[in-house]
Amino acid sequence: MASPDLAALARQVQRLTDIEEIKRLRHAYFRCLDTANVDELRGLLSDDYACRCIGGTYEYKANAPEEFLEMIANSFHSEIVTQHNAHAPEIDVVDETHATGIWYFHDQVYNFRTRELLIGTGLYRDRYRKVAGRWKIEYGEYERVYELTEILPRAPHLTAHYLGAHGKRLPASASYDPATGRTVV
């Protein structure tokens, strides 16, 4: 009986551990979006984070984490309800400190100010980098598979609204820009 290759086994265990940590990272990202937890979200991004988001009527780009976090702080506010789920990850560990991932996501967004309901899916294509022993999102890009938007005749009846209680309060002058998918404060 051949003796086990312990070094190969250790590499395989590390690879699986890295994949699990990256899954938790992406899930934490979506939780932070839906709860507008910008402080925790900051810690999930690399110092040189950038992103590109392609929706049905908008394209948004950020070339620095602070630019992205400002958009999140202004877009995930007390007058919006959001739900994001990612699943079916395809994660490839490139080396000890780099990985890539493709995620299928589904989201629903309701904006009380505009009465717009958005339901959609898309594909995230990420790059990750391990920094000081922790995986961070270095680059995230999504493109919609589909996006349905509809103006509802009245606001839905909600029995719970986390951002209503914990989200940023917008000034009356704030408006939604459909060309960028951003709330302008």
For residue 180, what pLDDT is reported?
66
Q: Which of 148, 100, 105, 146 is nearest to 124 (CA)?
A: 105
Coil, helix or strand at residue 140: strand
The SS3 call for residue 87 is strand
Q: Strand pairing partners for 120?
A: 107, 147
DSSP state of 12: H
| Domain locations along the chain | 15-184
pLDDT of residue 174: 81
CATH number of the 15-184 domain: 3.10.450.50
Q: Give this prediction's pTM.
A: 0.91
Nearest-angstrom CA–CA distance, 52 and 163: 25
Strand partners, 143: 54, 123
At 41-95, the pLDDT tens digits run 999 999 999 999 999 888 999 999 999 999 999 999 999 999 999 999 999 999 9
Residue 176's nearest CA partner among 121, 111, 119 is 111
pLDDT at 147: 96
pLDDT at residue 155, as a whole number: 86
Q: Which residues of the chain have pLDDT under 50?
A: none
What pLDDT does 164 receive? 93
pLDDT of residue 181: 65
- Going 35 to 38 to 39 to 42, the CA torsion angle's sign is positive
The pLDDT of residue 66 is 97
* Residue 49, CB-side half-sphere exposure with 13 Å CA sphere: 22
